[in-house]
Amino acid sequence: MRSLIAIILIAISGNTALAADSTGPDEILAAGRAFMEDFVRQQQDEGLEASFTLGSLDPRLKLAPCTNDRIDVEFSSDPMETTQPSLLVSCQGERPWRMYLSVSLEIHGDAFVAARPLNRGDRITRAMVTTQRVQVNSVRQGTITRLDNLVGLEMKRSVRAGTPFTPHLVITPDAVARGDHVMITARNQGFAVSTRGKALANARIGEQVLVENLSSSRTLRARVVAPGRVEVAM
């Protein structure tokens, strides 16, 4: 009887050692679930609602034990731009490993959308914008989340009412247009002189544009620094 008990104890001890000698799907799924639950709480703090479903793993999966007792998890793609982001699960132990865990994710929240049909070239005003509850991470290229970053931009193409605003739908408008009178400033360290000029083409802030100095009739290449203002390096 004592021999039988000893054999059973040895078998149990051996199985326990074997289990501790590997990282299985239960540990990986638990780490992924904890990471996603924390992500959901973060979205709630931002006024968003998120829900997720983890993918499945082969129950026979056995990876090296995580000797530092920590499994690291991070998104391998932007969760705000896709409904199927993958989780990169890894361990930096003596025998490091990494793998991907699939996840289905829905994030719902208020997004800025067109209050009415808009045409290409329209300059966006507050009256053109309203909010609507949408699945944020199903909108390609992501949504614009700050109204101040939207008002004053120009539509790149026409859209219907209710279309979410994305960075790829809008563009910074021209700060100067061909024929506009502009202020030309020639600047170097500690010195600047200004004169009036005329823009010879359209340009946005940061772009180069040809301008005519109205005093000398000379044509200069200048950089647009603000609406109606350009600078020439000396």
| 76 — pLDDT class (breaks 50, 70, 90) | very high
Residue 234 has pLDDT above 50, yes or no: yes
Written as six digits, the tokens of 163 are 């279309």
State which of 106, 127, 147 marks the end of a domain.
106
pLDDT of 20 reads 54
pTM of the complete model: 0.61
pLDDT of 192 reads 85
pLDDT of 17 reads 39
Tokens 């008002």 found at? 151
Residue 185 has pLDDT above 90, yes or no: yes
114 and 85, same structural domain? Answer: no
154 and 77, same structural domain? Answer: no
Written as six digits, the tokens of 148 are 């101040």
State which of 146, 171, 196 marks the end of a domain.
171
Backbone angles phi, psi at 103, to 5 degrees: -150, 140
Tokens 């999966």 found at? 61
Structure-model confidence comparison of residues 5 and 209, the more confident one: 209
201 and 163, same structural domain? Answer: no
For residue 115, what are the domain limits? 108-171
Q: What is the 3-state secondary structure (H, E, C) of the chain?
A: CHHHHHHHHHHHHHHHHHHHCCECHHHHHHHHHHHHHHHHHHHHHCCCEEEEEECCCCCCCCECCCCCCCCEEEECCCCCCCCCCEEEEEECCCCCEEEEEEEEEEEEEEEEEECCCECCCCECCHHHEEEEEEEHHHCCCCCCCCHHHCCCCEECCCECCCCECCCCCEECCCCECCCCEEEEEEEECCEEEEEEEEECCCECCCCEEEEEECCCCCEEEEEEEECCEEEEEC
144 and 87, same structural domain? Answer: no
41 domain residue, yes or no: yes
Instruction: Identify the weakest region by mean pLDDT among 72-76, 90-94, 110-114, 130-134.
Output: 90-94
State which of 149, 171, 193 marks the end of a domain.
171
pLDDT of 16 reads 39
154 and 98, same structural domain? Answer: no
Average pLDDT, integer, range 129-153: 86
70 domain residue, yes or no: yes
> CATH number, domain at 145?
3.90.1210.10
SS3 178: coil
176 domain residue, yes or no: no
How many C-alpha atoms does 213 have within 13 Å on its Cβ side? 16
pLDDT of 8 reads 35
Taking the alpha carbons of 157, 159, 162, 163 in that order, is the dihedral positive or negative? Answer: negative
Residues 43-64: pLDDT tens digits? 999 889 999 999 999 999 999 9
Domains contained in the chain, number: 3
| 68 — pLDDT class (breaks 50, 70, 90) | low
61 contact partners, CB below 8 Å, separation of at least 6:
24, 25, 28
Residue 41 has pLDDT above 90, yes or no: yes
Mean residue pLDDT across the chain: 86
pLDDT of 13 reads 40
162 and 191, same structural domain? Answer: no
9 and 100, same structural domain? Answer: yes
82 and 114, same structural domain? Answer: no
Residue 33 has pLDDT above 90, yes or no: yes
Backbone angles phi, psi at 99, to 5 degrees: -155, 170
68 and 99, same structural domain? Answer: yes
101 and 18, same structural domain? Answer: yes
Residue 160 has pLDDT above 50, yes or no: yes
How many C-alpha atoms does 105 have within 13 Å on its Cβ side? 31
Residues 189-224: pLDDT tens digits? 778 899 999 999 999 888 999 999 999 999 999 999
Q: Residue 8 CA to chain centroid, in angstroms? A: 56
